[in-house]
Structure 1
Amino acid sequence: MSDLVLYEVGGCPFCIRVRNKLEELDLEYESVMVPRSHANRTEVKEISGQTGVPVLVDEEHDVHGMPESTDIIAYLEETYGDGANR
């Protein structure tokens, strides 16, 4: 199991942006597909406090439910991109 877990919904453009960044950085991650209905996204709510996706978990860096694709992409660049202290 990877330290990176992405909670997502199929076809979500924001999720696709995050997946593309993960692939660009050649990072292994686990994808967890969640229900389309916000009312049924209890796991996402427990992790991040909200029901929107994408949500990223990075156990290695104590990130336990980061929402918002722009924040996730910036975090991935800063943590795993060129010049990052790994």
Structure 2
Amino acid sequence: MAPIEFYALDGCPFCAKVESKLDELGVEYTTHSVPSSHAERTDVEEISGQTEVPMIIDPDHGVEGMHESDDIVEYLEETYGSAA
């Protein structure tokens, strides 16, 4: 299984929410810290067309560039949680 790629900004409460869920579920992931300036988030923009974080890529499930912390948490719960 390939780890989830997690793009986050230090100090971002929405990113912390996603990271907490990843840790709670014991999901393997790699964190990529992004710059605070949206204009410098070229990696994120190339993947998803947006500069918002948090963002995940889950190569094992064909997810590329999922945004919105609530959507990500719901996805993680459905895919890796006890209901999975």
Question: Under a length normalisation based on structure 1, what TM-score does the superposition of the two structures give?
Answer: 0.93
Question: Under a length normalisation based on structure 2, what TM-score does the superposition of the two structures give?
Answer: 0.96
Number of matched pairs? 84
Partner of 2:23: 23
Tell me if the contact between 1:7 and 1:34 (Cα under 8 Å) persists in the aligned partners. yes
Letter in 1 for 2:65: G
1:49 deviates by: 1.1
Instruction: Show structure 1 runs of 4+ deviating over 4 A.
Output: none
CA distance in 1, matches of 2:48, 2:71: 13
Partner of 2:46: 46
1:32-76 CA-partner distances (Å, limit 9, x unpaired): 001000000000001111001000000000001101100000000
Partner of 1:33: 33
Partner of 2:67: 67
What's the % identity of the aligned pairs? 56
1:2 deviates by: 4.1
RMSD: 1.2
5+ residue gaps in structure 1? none
Tell me if the contact between 1:2 and 1:30 (Cα under 8 Å) persists in the aligned partners. no
